[in-house]
């Protein structure tokens, strides 16, 4: 596994994706939303928080406030109270308030559909932008979250925690049409088998492709 070439990486990750697809055939976004804006808010809330908890919060939240216009009218304190249990609630409330204003003023209430525009929104980084592009707009988005960072390193496709570098390196070896699903597969696999605290290599279907196999 020394000095693996780009073509060798392409071949290995293609095999890995094929296996993961068989293991997680229904892999998809686990956040609940009914519009690009709702997915944007849910993804901001998902930072360092389980999707399960985010869904509990948003199921109540989106019932009361469904779009950028309605969120814009809320105070930071009102938003904080609603999202408190997701953690980082001050920063998240500030971000939600801000993107609601920006989207109303600059984009007429419509969430922009490019990575560059999304990332310019305060509180929206590449990870969140790629989630929205891939899931709400069906535009390939390579999400590099905590699971992708961990799994890409264990598989030795990269040796860095830098998300921008990982996104760049993975984009070279994964077909564009697979970008969005790759994120979902890593999240499913990361939650069920390649768990952060204790990877379950015995039950791992791609352990034969993993240099870190215990």
Active centre residues (catalytic): 127, 145
Smallest distance from the beta carbon of 81 to DNA, in angstroms? 12
3-state DSSP call for residue 53? helix
Query: Of how many residues is the chain composed?
Result: 214
- Report yes or no: 123 and 44 within 8 Å, Cβ to Cβ: yes
C-beta of 150 vs 156, nearer to DNA: 150
Smallest distance from the beta carbon of 198 to DNA, in angstroms? 7
Positions in the binding site for DNA (CB under 7 A):
28-31, 43-44, 46-53, 84-92, 95, 122-129, 131, 135, 143, 145-147, 150, 163, 183-184, 187, 190-191, 196-197
- Report yes or no: 151 and 176 within 8 Å, Cβ to Cβ: no
Residue 101 CB neighbours (<10 A): 15
C-beta of 100 vs 128, nearer to DNA: 128
C-beta of 118 vs 206, nearer to DNA: 118
Helix axes 126-136, 36-45, angle to 10 degrees: 140
Smallest distance from the beta carbon of 7 to DNA, in angstroms? 28
């Amino acid at each position: 596994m020394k000095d693996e070439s780009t073509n060798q990486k392409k071949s290995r990750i293609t095999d890995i994706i094929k296996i993961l697809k068989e293991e997680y055939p229904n892999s998809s976004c686990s956040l609940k939303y009914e519009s690009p804006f709702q997915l944007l808010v849910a993804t901001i809330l998902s930072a360092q928080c389980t999707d399960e908890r985010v869904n509990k919060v948003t199921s109540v939240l989106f019932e009361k406030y469904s779009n950028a216009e309605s969120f814009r009218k809320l105070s930071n304190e009102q938003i904080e109270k609603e999202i408190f249990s997701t953690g980082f609630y001050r920063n998240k409330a500030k971000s939600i308030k801000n993107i609601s204003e920006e989207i109303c003023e600059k984009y007429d209430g419509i969430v922009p559909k490019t990575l560059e525009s999304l990332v310019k929104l305060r509180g929206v980084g590449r990870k969140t932008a790629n989630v929205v592009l891939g899931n709400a707009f069906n535009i390939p988005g390579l999400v590099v979250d905590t699971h992708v960072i961990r799994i890409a390193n264990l598989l030795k496709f990269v040796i860095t925690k830098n998300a921008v570098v990982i996104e760049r390196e993975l984009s070279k070896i994964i077909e564009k049409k697979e970008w969005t699903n790759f994120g979902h597969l890593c999240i499913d696999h990361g939650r069920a088998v390649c768990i952060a605290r204790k990877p379950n290599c015995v039950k791992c279907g791609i352990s034969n492709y993993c240099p870190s196999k215990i």
